[in-house]
């Protein structure tokens, strides 16, 4: 095979090597060093947030947020079925109970079903919402593939029932509202907590790594404290709380500082490439490129093709393997979390659209350095392939 077009790979076009070498030369390569502080400042400035703490991963950011939200063993956390399992696993870390709420057409949590669950399946005493005797403590809202959930409706429900909102913006760094009451607000800065990921396939990367912000700056300070083992006295190693080894390393942060310098250009390319895909799949009869929510400027991290599986005579696995044989990588949407072995016994609420999309969505190449000719090749080959499957 002469060339292979990957799904989503990191892009190191700037000062990444320079800053990493500087970090190594400083000998501060672990969780102490100037780059961690600089990355926190750059993220806060970009997001228009008062305070940001960097940590080891998006998962650790979510775990710390759930801890800071006061989630205790036996509490209920409302979660989505359509996302990577890391968004829900931290609920289990706290020995809390997830309840899965269906998605809407954005793949994000359905605000109407969220509200209906709270109104019809729970009891409200004016202070605490309870479901079968357990406190409904938090909602984890995932902004899937760089889209934005309907935060206006979700926040209305959360405020009414005194539920903490944790935004999983791990895929949505740079996405923001252009309309409505949250116009100008970035994904991750609307709820009580916002979490980001810098994994290798995200729009910027530190290899691993993540970050967390919050509406209350003091909560971010406490999260940063917890992430460094909750050391109250650094000289005598006194610890008044159970902490975690969740702080980002200075070496990772050096990479992140360079990536933040490139983020606006990365977003521009993602949006430009999406528009080309949109043009190429326009009026194609067997698949549609999924749109992003109106009133949102999305980072367009991942591009999702909705395939008419009622007419295409192939399984999603067969389609993915055939794409690979033609020189490009694709990926199915995640297996629904509520159907995974660790979660099969957990409660769900009106899961319908999640099931529908789980068997139809194919993610297509979306790297920031993909060329227009590669995008045209992917679209041409996919259309040809799907027509062949339809015709048998």
Contact 220, 189 (CB under 8 A): no
| Residues contacting residue 83 through CB under 8 Å, at least 6 positions apart | 142, 144, 168, 334, 337
> Residue 172 has what pLDDT?
98
> Residue 296 has what pLDDT?
97
Lookup: tokens for 10: 């990191």
Contact 318, 377 (CB under 8 A): no
Lookup: tokens for 239: 């610890």
Contact 121, 369 (CB under 8 A): no
Identify the CA nearest to 252 among candidates 40, 9, 62.
40
pLDDT digits 0-9 by tens, 67-80: 999 999 999 999 99
Structural domains present in the chain:
16-259 (3.40.640.10), 263-391 (3.90.1150.10)
> Residue 346 has what pLDDT?
98
> Residue 112 has what pLDDT?
98
What percent of the chain has a predicted confidence (pLDDT) above 90?
Answer: 97
Beta strand pairing call for 193-197 and 164-168: parallel
pLDDT digits 0-9 by tens, 279-289: 999 999 999 99
Lookup: tokens for 381: 């080959």
> Residue 3 has what pLDDT?
83
Confidence of residue 234 (pLDDT cuts 50, 70, 90): confident
Residue 1 has pLDDT above 60, yes or no: no
In the predicted model, what is the mean pLDDT of the chain? 97
Please report the sign of the dihedral spanned by the C-alpha atoms of residue 64, residue 70, residue 74, residue 80: negative
- Tell me the C-alpha distance between 111 and 149, whole Å: 8
Contact 80, 142 (CB under 8 A): yes
> Residue 2 has what pLDDT?
73
Residue 308 has pLDDT above 60, yes or no: yes
> Residue 392 has what pLDDT?
74
Burial of 390 (0-12, 13-18, 19+ CB in 10 A): middle
Contact 156, 142 (CB under 8 A): no
């Amino acid at each position: 095979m002469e060339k292979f077009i990957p799904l989503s790979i990191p892009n190191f076009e700037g000062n990444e090597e320079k800053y990493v070498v500087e970090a190594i030369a400083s000998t501060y390569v672990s969780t102490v060093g100037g780059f961690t502080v600089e990355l926190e400042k750059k993220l806060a400035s970009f997001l228009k947030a008062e305070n940001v703490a960097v940590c080891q991963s998006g998962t650790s950011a979510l775990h710390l947020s759930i801890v800071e939200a006061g989630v205790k063993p036996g509490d209920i956390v409302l979660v989505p079925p359509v996302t990577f399992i890391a968004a829900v696993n931290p609920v289990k870390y706290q020995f809390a109970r997830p309840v899965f709420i269906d998605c809407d057409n954005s793949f994000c949590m359905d605000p109407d079903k969220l509200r209906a669950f709270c109104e019809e399946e729970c009891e409200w005493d004016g202070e605490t919402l309870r479901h079968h005797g357990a406190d409904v403590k938090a909602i984890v809202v995932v902004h899937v593939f760089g889209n934005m959930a309907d935060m206006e409706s979700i926040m209305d429900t959360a405020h009414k029932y005194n539920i903490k909102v944790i935004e999983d913006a791990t895929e949505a760094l740079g996405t923001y509202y252009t309309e409505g009451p949250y116009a100008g607000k970035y994904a991750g800065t609307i709820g009580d907590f916002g979490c980001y990921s810098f994994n290798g396939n995200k729009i910027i990367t530190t290899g691993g790594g993540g970050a967390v912000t919050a509406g209350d700056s003091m909560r971010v300070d406490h999260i940063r404290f917890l992430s460094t083992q909750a050391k109250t006295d650094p000289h005598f190693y006194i610890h008044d709380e159970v902490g975690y080894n969740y702080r980002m390393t200075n070496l990772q942060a050096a990479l992140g500082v360079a990536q933040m310098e490139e983020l606006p250009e990365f977003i521009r390319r993602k949006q430009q490439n999406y528009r080309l895909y949109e043009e190429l799949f326009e009026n194609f009869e067997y698949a549609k490129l999924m749109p992003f929510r109106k009133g949102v400027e999305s980072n367009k991290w991942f591009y999702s093709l909705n395939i008419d599986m009622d007419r295409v005579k192939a399984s999603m696995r067969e389609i993915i393997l055939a794409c690979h044989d033609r020189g490009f990588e694709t990926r199915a949407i995640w297996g629904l979390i509520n159907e995974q072995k660790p979660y099969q016994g957990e409660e769900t609420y009106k899961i319908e659209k999640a099931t529908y999309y789980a068997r139809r969505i194919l993610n297509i190449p979306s790297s920031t350095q993909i060329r227009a000719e590669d995008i045209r090749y992917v679209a041409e080959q996919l259309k040809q392939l799907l027509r062949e499957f339809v015709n048998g």
